Amino acid sequence: MYEAVRADPAGESTAARFAAAASEHGYDGVVVRNSRDDVVPPTFDSRAAYAEAIEAEYGADAVWGVELGGDRGTLTRAVRESREDVTILCVAGGGADRNRFAVETPAVDVLTRPMTERGDFNHVLARAAAENGVRVEFDFGPVLRASGGERVQALRDLRKLREILFYYDAPYVCSVCADSHLHLRAPRDLAALGEQIGFTGEQVREGFREWGRLVERNRERFDDSFIAPGVRKGRGDVR
Amino acid sequence: MKHLPKHLRPRWRYLAVRLESTPDADFDRGAFQRELWFAAANLLGDPGSADADLRVFSFSFGAPVGEAVVRVRRGEVEAGRAAVACVDGVEGAPVAASVIGVSGTVRACEEKYMRGPPEAYDEKRVAFRDADSRAICRGNLRDVRSDSRWTGATSLDME
C-alpha cells in the first residue's frame, strides 16, 4: 500500500520524513506528488540516489510523481514532457475541462481531487476513465482535517463520486492528500473511517493498493529493457 | 449504588493510541479528551458518539510524541478507531493520532503496546535548505524550525 503526499518545499515534511512515517504506519512507500520541485536535498545528486538512501534507512519506497495543473494547452505539453520523467503522472482535478482532459488521456495515471475548484464528475467521465485506465482519486483529506460546512461538502462529493465510479467499475485510488507527516494515518484507521462514510473497509484498502499496482506497472513499462513500446531487449521464448 | 451483575456490566475494549505532534505542542489529558469527543461527535453524531463512549484513560505526552489508552465499548472498536483518526489537532497544534493495538484490559494494553517515556531528544543547529536552523533531533528524525513553522525532516535531508 502506498500513500501519495506533497513533500517539502510545497509540503511541510521532506520526502524522507514522509517515508519514515509511512513505514511506521505500515505502508510500503510514498508517492511524492511534487517531485519536480526541489524535493531532493543538495547532498544527493539525483532523485534515484535519494530514493535509494530512503529505502536503505526506512525500508519504504519513495516513488517520484508529478501533479500537473493548468489549462488544456499547457497540460498536453506538460504530460508529454513529464511522462518519461516520473513514475506516476497525476493531473490535478478541478473544472470540467481539466477533469475531461485527464480521463481522456491514457498517458495520465491518476486524476486527483476531481471535485475541487467547482469540478464535477459524471457518467461520461467515469466511462472515459474506465476505458482509458485513468484512476480517479478519493481524497479523504477534508474528511480528516476540515470541519463544518466544508467537511459536509467534501463528504457529499465523495458520495457522489463513489456512486458514479463504482457503477461503471472505473479504477480508483485513495489518499489523504498529506502535506505533513502528521497528516498520515494508518491504512487500518482509514478503512475504519471509510466504513463510517459509506465505503467498505476493503474498498478503501484496495484504493491504497492501487497506487502500488500503478508503480509496479509503470516501472516495468519505463524499464530500460524496452526499446520501443511492446518491444523488449533480450532473448525471448518466441523463435 | 450496588454493582451491576456481571452479565449486565458494559464490556470494554482499550485502544492503544500513539500521538505525534510538533515539538512545541503542549496539551494535557483533558484537552485531548475534549478533541476526541469533538471528533467522535462530528463523525459519528451524538448517538454514535454515545455508543462508542470514548474515554481517555492513561495519557502521557512529552512533545513531540506521546501515548494514550482510550476506552471504547466492545463492538464499537472500528467506530472508535475512525474517531481517533479524525483528531487532527489539539489546542492549535497539529496531531497525528493512530491506533496501534486493541486489548481487553487496560493492563494488557499498557504492557503490550506502551513504550514508556519517549527517547531523549536534543536540540541542535542544523544546515537545512541553505539556512542555519534550530532542530529537535530524535534518533535520525529532525524537526526543523524555520520561518516560524516546523518542517519534518530526517538526517538524510541535512547538508
ipTM reported for the complex surpasses 0.85: yes
pLDDT tens digits, A157-189? 999 999 999 999 999 999 999 999 999 999 999
Q: What is the full DSSP assignment across B83-119?
A: HHHT--EETTEEEEEEEEEEESSHHHHHHHH---SPP
Q: What is the pLDDT of residues A18-56, one digit of tens each?
A: 999 999 999 999 999 998 878 888 888 888 899 999 999
**Contact assignment for A193 to B129 by CB distance below 8 Å:** no
Inter-chain CB proximity B99 and A144 less than 8 Å: no
Cβ contact, residue pair B151, A8, below 8 Å: yes
Spatial separation of the C-alpha atoms in residues A7 and B152, rounded to whole Å: 10
Residue of A nearest to B99 (CA): A189
Is residue B19 pLDDT above 90, yes or no?
Answer: yes
Closest by Cβ to B154, choosing from A9, A14, A151: A14
Residue A238 has pLDDT above 70, yes or no: no
Name which of B21, B98, B130, B147 to mutate to probe chain A: the one with the most chain A Cβ atoms within 10 A of its Cβ. Answer: B98
Looking at beta carbons, which residues of chain B come within 8 Å of A52? none
A37 and B CB contact within 8 Å: no
| Nearest C-alpha in A relative to B80 | A192
CB A189 within 8 A of CB B84: yes
